[in-house]
């Protein structure tokens, strides 16, 4: 709980400051009275006070006495996020990280793949930005987008669907923090050092930092969706996980582009095309979120009646070890979310949750550790349909 709340708090701080500075940068306007080297200024009102903010294109002629840096929000978001990944997915790899129906990886091998993929993913992304593609925004965007989709497909081939989508988000989040740690902050420090040495800062340093900051801006919304997806089975049980990731990245980019264009003062088609495009992408989610087949067949209520005894046996075998007043599953002192499934009345009471978790998806049992079969899910679907 501590690690989760640390992650939430630091992520809010990082995203909030990131969105604010993107808005501020795009809202800057030129004025006749601006000092030399100032790109523009923006007037703001908040909390009963007025603020006047100016941005220097490279740096001021002399360093101010106090300079505020924005970096620890990003660092602690990634650190707390990795800790949360470790305590949730590495510590309970059999339940959350692995799915025997997907791959035969051991827990240790899966953890190694997870950590190595995050590091390798950054090297690939950073290499693309540093390559000649980095100077061609459109081609770079296509290459990075293709890498995200390919990564989602790769993760879905080795991890559980829950872990696959979360890892896609973690991969992109790693790029974002690494952009801050390895590019944005070091470049800003070089500018500061040049000023302190009475040298002219290299404008290319600011341009590179701006490029990575823009990437972070467009990737934030997709990362939020993918990082929160593990709480909602309907988002990670799709038949084509890679397609879902691709649609979400596009949709998040379209939404951010609308706000960026609006903040820049554009009008007309420049701030109108995003609405129909977003609608098409949202409709596309209906395809991307199509439930995955179980046991080769899509689960639908069977035409034959299923007895109470059959359902009781299925639930006792696969669910009651966790969902009981006194769970027998190690690590559980009480039933998850207070859901008990020890009697038929309990199953009827939570029928919608049972259907969502074990029929419409196979999010439960966790990691399918008890080996629930497609026939058992089919029988459960038939019984639930009769209630």
DSSP code string of 184-243: IHHHHHHHHHHHHTT-PPPHHHHHHHHHHHHHHHHHHHHHHHHHHGGG-HHHH-BS-HHH
What's the gap between Cα 176 and its chain centre?
11
Report pLDDT for 295.
44
Report pLDDT for 294.
46
Euclidean distance between CA atoms 32 and 38, whole angstroms: 11
Q: Which two tokens stand for residue 39?
A: 């790109």
Euclidean distance between CA atoms 218 and 226, whole angstroms: 14
Residues 265-319 have pLDDT tens digits of: 999 999 999 999 999 999 888 877 776 554 444 445 555 688 999 999 999 999 9
Domain ranges of the chain: 2-288, 308-386
Lowest mean pLDDT among 80-84, 180-184, 215-219, 359-363: 359-363
Residues 111-141 have pLDDT tens digits of: 999 999 999 999 999 999 999 999 999 999 9
């Amino acid at each position: 709980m501590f690690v989760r709340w640390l992650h939430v708090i630091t992520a809010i701080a990082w995203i909030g400051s990131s969105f604010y500075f993107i808005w501020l940068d795009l809202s800057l306007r030129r004025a006749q009275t601006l000092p030399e080297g100032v790109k523009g200024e923006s007037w703001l009102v908040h909390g009963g006070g007025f603020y006047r903010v100016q941005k220097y294109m490279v740096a001021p002629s002399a360093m101010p006495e106090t300079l505020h840096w924005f970096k620890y929000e990003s660092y602690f978001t990634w650190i707390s996020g990795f800790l949360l990944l470790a305590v949730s997915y590495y510590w309970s790899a059999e339940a959350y990280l692995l799915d025997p129906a997907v791959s035969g990886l051991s827990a240790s091998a899966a953890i190694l793949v997870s950590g190595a993929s995050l590091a390798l993913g950054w090297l690939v992304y950073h290499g693309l930005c540093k390559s000649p593609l980095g100077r061609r925004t459109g081609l770079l965007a296509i290459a990075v987008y293709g890498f995200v989709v390919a990564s989602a497909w790769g993760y879905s081939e080795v991890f559980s669907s829950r872990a696959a989508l979360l890892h896609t988000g973690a991969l992109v989040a790693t790029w974002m923090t690494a952009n801050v740690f390895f590019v944005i902050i070091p470049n800003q420090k070089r500018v500061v050092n040049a000023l302190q040495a009475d040298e002219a800062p290299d404008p290319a340093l600011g341009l590179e930092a701006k490029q990575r900051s823009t990437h972070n801006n467009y990737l934030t919304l997709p990362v939020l969706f993918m990082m929160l997806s593990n709480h909602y089975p309907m988002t990670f049980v799709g038949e084509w996980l890679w397609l879902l990731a691709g649609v979400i990245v596009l949709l998040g980019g379209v939404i951010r582009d609308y706000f960026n264009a609006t903040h820049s003062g554009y009008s007309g088609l420049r701030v109108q095309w995003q609405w129909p495009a977003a609608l098409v992408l949202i409709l596309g989610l209906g395809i991307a979120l199509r439930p995955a087949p179980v046991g080769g067949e899509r689960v639908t209520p069977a035409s034959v009646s299923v007895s109470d005894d059959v359902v009781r046996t299925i639930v006792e075998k696969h669910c009651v070890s966790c969902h009981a007043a006194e769970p027998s599953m190690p690590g559980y002192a009480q039933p998850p979310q207070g859901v008990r499934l020890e009697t038929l009345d309990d199953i009827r009471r939570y029928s919608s949750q049972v259907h969502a978790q074990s029929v419409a998806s196979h999010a439960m049992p966790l990691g399918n550790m008890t080996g629930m079969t497609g026939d058992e899910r089919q029988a459960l679907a038939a019984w639930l349909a009769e209630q």
